[in-house]
Structure 1
Amino acid sequence: MSSTASLSSTVGFGPAAAAGSMPLAAVRAPRIVSIDILRGLVMLVMLLDHVRETLYLHLQVTDPMTIATTPAALFFSRFAAHFCAPAFVFLTGLSAWLYANPPAGTPRPVKSFLMKRGFLLLFLEATVITFAWSGDLPPRVIYLQVIWAIGLAMIVLALMSGLPRKLLAAIGFVIVFGHNALAGLSFAPDSPLYLPWTLLLHRGPVIAEGALQIKLTYPVLPWIGVILLGWVAGPLYAHTVGAARRIKLLLALGLACLGLLLVLRGFNIYGENAPWEYGATTVHTVMSFLNFTKYPPSLDFLLTTLGTAFLLLAAFERADNRVGRFLATFGGAPMFYYIGHLLLLLVLYKILLAVFGPNQGTRFGVNPDQFWVVWVSTVALIPVLYFPCRAFARYKRTSKRAWVRYF
């Protein structure tokens, strides 16, 4: 089971959140629209992946995917979902810096702010989100997924936020670029190092037996590196940096990431433990090249996804149009959307299971040649989710209730 969300403004970050923490009479600062647009875009891609998990869970994909047995439509749908978690985690770090450094005013302490929101995410993962995935009360299995990883990474960022920015940049780069060198290291379940190593770098069971099991899907170490780099990138959005300069820097960062990817991946040098190979067709060759490990995210995975995210942020800098505003609506209420879409999918699945029965073993699902149903269902659900998100985003902007900012 995977999940790809989280949520920089889950956590009430960014200029709007900063305004929300000021006296109620203060004027709210405007949101940075390009961040909301990118967040909204990857949230819709995330919806596609979660519809796939709802209707196609009987045909799960491996990590990395098995090229010979994975249809192209399934492969590229899953590949598109790879962009969600890195973009959200990076934006979480960036938005945390924006909260700590409001555009008009003196820097504010951020440690307590990050700690509270980090622990909130841990709580939500273990309770509300676990239920939204499984529908079980009480839960039989708790999956520690992306919300858990972001919450824990946020707590680490809180503890490290007072360090010099150059030091944080160095630590972030060492983690993101260096963790692949440790990918082959593992420990037996009876080793005292098994639990910390599983939490940091290898997915696996935390509690494998008993009435309540806990399974870790998102090892947190690489995501700590990503959130630190997001914090370090925060000054790109300082009020002293003009849009033209920011676009130029984002383009340079994006192209540098993708250029490095072509060298490292092209020659199978480093950054992905599953080397690419020529396939029987051009499509299979492309699939092999793009077949990155997500759990934990390999360096090539992060170069691809974050490099593309930088280019999209540059493209969205001046995206003042209907499409941009449509996407920004989702990006303005991410945790509300995240929990809401999981609950909606749970209800719809229960209805389908009751009406049609378990046609795929113990589950209801579509046949392998009906993957188009996943795409059609995703498109149909977008307007269903849009109007509640728009209403909640408007309510959040005007409400004086503190709890609203958490969603």
Structure 2
Amino acid sequence: MTANNSSARVASIDIVRGIIMLLMTVDHVRETFYLSHQVSDPMDAASTPPALFFTRLAAHFCAPLFVFLTGLAAWLYAHPPGGPRSATGFLLKRGALLLFLELVVINFAWSGQWPGPVLYLQVMWAIGLSMIALALLHRLPLPWLAALGALIVAGHNTLPTLAQLAASFGAGFEPGGAGHMLWTVLEQRGYLASDGAVKVRISYPLLAWIGVILLGYAAGPLYSRTMAPQRRVRVLLAAGAAAPALLLVLRTFNIYGEALPWAQGTDTLHSAMSFLNFTKYPPSLDFLLLTLGAGMLVLAWLEPQPRAIPAPAAAWRRACAVFGGAPLFYYLLHLYALLALQRIASALQGTGSGRYEFNAVWQLWLASALLAALLYLPTRWFGRYKRSSGNAWLKYF
């Protein structure tokens, strides 16, 4: 833990959040400068080039780990060193702020106009509503929250089957009806409103993300001041090993947890791509076993070591912690930087209303590294200012 004025930040959590921000940057550069090479969800393993497939796969780790760590951080907020405090107001206010940012600030950053022809409700919408749900539920006993989170994560894959069964008995959700709208918000990606001058599309169905944030909150005691680091590492390693082990069984035999079964490809690489091709919207059980399991192992690996860390690795950790210490600021900043860069590149290219595009995947990674380097100092400044200024409203960022 790294100390500051009134609380303690967990360095490993900031580092993981920073890694998430950097992987997210690659995916957003892809969506800005590689849009003609769009991928489906799940990706078509037979037609998607491996470099693009694994670039997109790397981004799959971002949302689950960030939502999980949001729940964990909420527990830390509710249990500061001075004693427990209510997190209800903070979660409600921050959740409402994220909804506002999604509707106004973020939608403009993606399209350059507001309102655009489609109002997209994406990851900040999901995190904001998940925080509001956590605000209403977090006072329940932690075992109840853990059980509810696990039930949602493991069980929501059965809901489409149950919906089909209900439809066979004439209980389907008619488009435009309240049932269809609720189903779209919770489980089925699609248009909440498909008519009118401005359409509303749900990109991140909500239910599974509520399960993930509940699991994160229930994991909060792992980072309490009374938890021995060695025990925390053992628990993280056990969880990180159990998740992929269960995934291996479920996925190998196509038992449960993913609507798209895997199949042998033309070679070993394409077979592996098919095996790792999971549904993200909403996140399937197999998707979450892969991403959250890997996250537990990374958190265990980042625990402070008794031996000295090599200087390059220590510098890399510090850089990641900068981005992870002010993730919302960096999120908004990099979206507007991408909007400006696309406009500038298109103007220099002289294509009028056309978009500037990269022609190779390696260019996405290089451009992402350069963009992160460009935004490093502003992000570091904001993170330090947020923690030293004493302005209460900055804690919501």
Q: Please list every run of 5 or more consecutive structure 1 residues that lacks an aligned counterpart in the other structure.
A: 1-13, 20-26
Is 1:332 matched with 2:310?
no
Q: State yes or no: 1:113 paired with 2:90.
A: yes
The two structures have a TM-score, normalised by structure 2, of 0.92
Alpha-carbon distance, 1:106 to partner: 2.0
The letter for the 2-side match of 1:143 is Y
Question: Is the CA contact (8 Å cut-off) linking 1:15 and 1:98 kept in structure 2?
Answer: no
Structure-2 separation of matches of 1:305 and 1:31: 23
Equivalence for 1:379: 369
Map residues 22-41 of structure 1 onto 2, 5 A cutoff: 27-41=5-19
Aligned to 1:22: none
- 1:9 is matched with which residue? none
Is the Cα contact below 8 Å between 2:126 and 2:204 reproduced in 1? Answer: yes
**Residue 213 of structure 1: aligned partner:** 199
8 Å contact kept, 1:15–1:99: no
Deviations 1:66-122 (A, max 9, x none): 1121000100000000000000000010110111111x2221011111111111110
- Which residue identity lines up with residue 340 of structure 2 in the other structure? V
**Does the residue aligned with 2:192 lie in a helix, a strand or coil?**
strand
Partner Cα separation in structure 1 for residue 298 and residue 152 of structure 2: 24
Q: Are residue 322 (structure 1) and residue 324 (structure 2) matched?
A: no
Alignment match, 1:258: 244
Amino acid at match of 1:401: N
Write the mapping of 1:274-285 to structure 2, written as runs, cut at 5 A.
274-285=260-271
Within a 5 Å distance, the mapping from 1:181-192 to structure 2 comes to: 181-184=158-161, 185=163, 187-192=173-178
Match of 2:78 in 1: 100
Q: 2:295 aligns with which of 306, 309, 334?
A: 309
Cα pair 2:203 2:281 within 8 Å, conserved: yes
Distance change (3 Å), C-alpha of 1:15 and 1:324:
closer
Q: Deviations over 1:104-157 (max 9, x none)?
A: 222101111111111111011001111111111343321100000000011011
What is aligned with 2:52?
74
- Please state if 1:389 is matched with 2:366: no
The one-letter code matched in structure 2 to 1:335 is: L
Partner residue of 2:345?
352
Partner of 1:155: 132
Is 63-72 or 374-383 further displaced after alignment? 374-383
Query: What is the aligned length?
Result: 381
CA distance in 2, matches of 1:208, 1:138: 15
Please show how residues 235-274 of structure 1 align to structure 2 within 5 Å.
Answer: 235-274=221-260
CA–CA distance in 2 between the matches of 1:294 and 1:188? 24
Deviates more, 1:131-140 or 1:209-218: 131-140
Task: Name 1:227's counterpart in structure 2.
Answer: 213
Between 33-42 and 175-184, report the one with greater CA deviation.
Answer: 175-184
The 3-state SS of whatever aligns with 1:69 is: coil
The 8 Å contact of residues 104 and 114 in structure 2, kept in 1 or not, is answered as no
Render the CA deviation track for 1:294-342: whole Å, top value 9, x for unaligned: 0000000000000000000001111762211111010000010000000
Contact 2:42 / 2:277 at 8 angstroms: preserved in 1? Answer: yes
For normalisation by structure 1, the TM-score amounts to: 0.90
Residue identity in the other structure for 1:63: D
Contact 2:46/2:265, CA 8 A, preserved across alignment: no
Give the corresponding residue for 2:392: 402
Unaligned runs of 5+ in 2: 165-172
